[in-house]
């Protein structure tokens, strides 16, 4: 019997593995001109949306920038709006002064208001956009207002546009921006306000403007007169106009602070009044008026601040704070009123003299 050993034979050696397939990606040429055409033709919405998405993701090369400017140079080209929007989407030109000047120059001489608005949108957050705030075309002025940064060079055009009262929506944008005004710019803003001629009918709008400004730097400028301009040394009609405007702004600013003091301003006033007797006497009536306007929402926060201020406080400091807290306690109701009365009773335990002074304050107001 012969053994069949074929199944025991060594297997044939495996073929060596073939090297992995390497795919080399070659950049495909981008048809920017064709994409602009597709994005400008509303006949096929899906194709138009695809082209717009491609343009958003595409960063134009220097050659692509040349295509965009060639399109903008043709007055009748239907792709000019998309080209202007592409400039505003990819703003590599901002890195060079010449690029900024070129876009600014195109925006100045542009005759199509829609294309001009797109170019102004591309200038957003640059100081140069301020020159379009008073543009007669509403769309252009709106884009300028939305894109205006607050800085030393842009406050003057903002004030001029606010005084012109071109459109209510522009005024709302300006007031919204001024709520976030950086404190060091408060003097610059007031200086710009003093340079304008304000009619009697403008006073109400000015009052609204002051009610939107950050209150702590506003108080420091008009109540403490930090950074007040030197008006006495100036002469002439321009100086007289600036002096009138300063007194007008001062009156409106103080009224806005008294009628709607913020919690930040009230905390500052309470802290300074407790620390500085001269400050407390000088601004006592102002602080009382501000506290009288404080609503019930501010009550608990103010009471917490009173508690923080009395930690390791001297008796003289407690007396000054007690004068304010007694007046505030008569305005607070419910839980806040009970907390104010409890805090006063706690202060009375500090010394017999303090107890007597707080008692007299309470009886006088009662």
Mean pLDDT per 10-residue run, the chain (366 residues)?
41 52 39 83 81 83 87 92 92 92 96 96 97 95 97 96 87 95 94 91 93 95 86 70 91 91 90 87 86 73 86 83 83 81 88 88 76
The Cα 86–Cα 72 span in angstroms is 11
For residue 186, count CB atoms less than 10 angstroms from its CB and return exposed for 0-12, middle for 13-18, buried for 19 or more. Answer: buried
Write the pLDDT tens digit of every residue in 131-186: 999 999 999 999 999 999 999 999 999 999 999 976 889 999 999 999 999 999 99
Structure tokens at 287: 């602080």
What pLDDT score does 27 carry? 37
CB 154 within 8 A of CB 148: yes
What pLDDT score does 57 carry? 84
What pLDDT score does 128 carry? 97
The Cα 254–Cα 286 span in angstroms is 9
- Within 10 Å of residue 223's Cβ, how many Cβ atoms? 18
Compute CA distances 346 → 4, 277, 325, 362, whole Å: 110, 23, 13, 14
What pLDDT score does 35 carry? 85
What pLDDT score does 7 carry? 39
What pLDDT score does 273 carry? 85
The Cα 294–Cα 52 span in angstroms is 53
118 Cβ contact partners less than 8 Å away, ≥ 6 residues apart: 81, 84, 85, 87, 88, 143
Write the pLDDT tens digit of every residue in 115-133: 999 999 999 999 999 999 9
- Within 10 Å of residue 352's Cβ, how many Cβ atoms? 9
The Cα 115–Cα 106 span in angstroms is 10
What pLDDT score does 307 carry? 85
Nearest Cα neighbor of 363 from 309, 337, 326, 334 is: 326
Place of tokens 């006073």: 203
Dihedral-angle region of residue 228 (phi above 0 means left; psi in -120 to 50 means alpha; beta otherwise): beta
The Cα 86–Cα 80 span in angstroms is 10
Structure tokens at 77: 């080209």
**b/e 154-178 (16+ beta carbons within 10 angstroms → b):** bbbbbbebbbeebeeebbebbbebb
């Amino acid at each position: 019997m012969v053994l069949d050993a074929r199944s025991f034979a060594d297997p044939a050696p495996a073929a060596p593995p073939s090297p992995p397939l390497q795919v080399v990606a070659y950049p495909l040429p981008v048809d920017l001109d064709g994409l602009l055409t597709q994005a400008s033709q509303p006949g096929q919405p899906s194709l138009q949306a695809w082209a717009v998405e491609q343009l958003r993701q595409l960063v134009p090369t220097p050659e692509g920038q040349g295509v965009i400017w060639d399109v903008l140079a043709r007055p009748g080209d239907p792709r000019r709006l998309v080209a202007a929007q592409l400039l505003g989407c990819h703003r590599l030109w901002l890195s060079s002064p010449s690029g900024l000047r070129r876009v600014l120059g195109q925006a100045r001489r542009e005759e199509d208001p829609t294309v001009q608005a797109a170019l102004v949108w591309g200038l957003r957050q640059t100081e140069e956009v301020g020159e379009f705030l008073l543009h007669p075309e509403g769309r252009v002025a709106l884009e300028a207002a939305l894109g205006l940064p607050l800085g030393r060079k842009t406050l003057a055009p903002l004030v001029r546009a606010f005084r012109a009262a071109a459109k209510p929506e522009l005024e709302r944008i300006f007031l919204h921006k001024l709520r976030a005004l950086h404190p060091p710019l408060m003097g610059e803003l007031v200086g710009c306000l003093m340079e304008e001629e304000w009619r009697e009918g403008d006073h109400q709008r000015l009052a609204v403007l002051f009610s939107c400004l950050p209150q702590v730097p506003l108080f420091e400028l008009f109540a403490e007169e930090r950074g007040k301009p030197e008006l006495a040394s100036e002469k002439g009609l321009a100086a007289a106009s600036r002096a009138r405007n300063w007194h007008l702004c001062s009156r409106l600013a103080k009224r806005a602070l008294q009628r709607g003091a913020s919690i930040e301003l009230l905390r500052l006033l309470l802290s300074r009044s407790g620390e500085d007797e001269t400050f407390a006497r000088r601004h006592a009536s102002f602080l009382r008026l501000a506290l009288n306007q404080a609503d019930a929402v501010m009550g608990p926060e103010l009471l917490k601040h009173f508690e923080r201020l009395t930690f390791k406080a001297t008796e003289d400091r407690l007396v000054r704070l007690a004068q304010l807290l007694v007046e505030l306690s008569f305005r607070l109701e419910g839980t806040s009123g009970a907390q104010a009365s409890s805090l006063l009773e706690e202060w009375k335990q500090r010394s017999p003299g303090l107890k007597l002074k707080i008692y007299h304050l309470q009886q006088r107001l009662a």
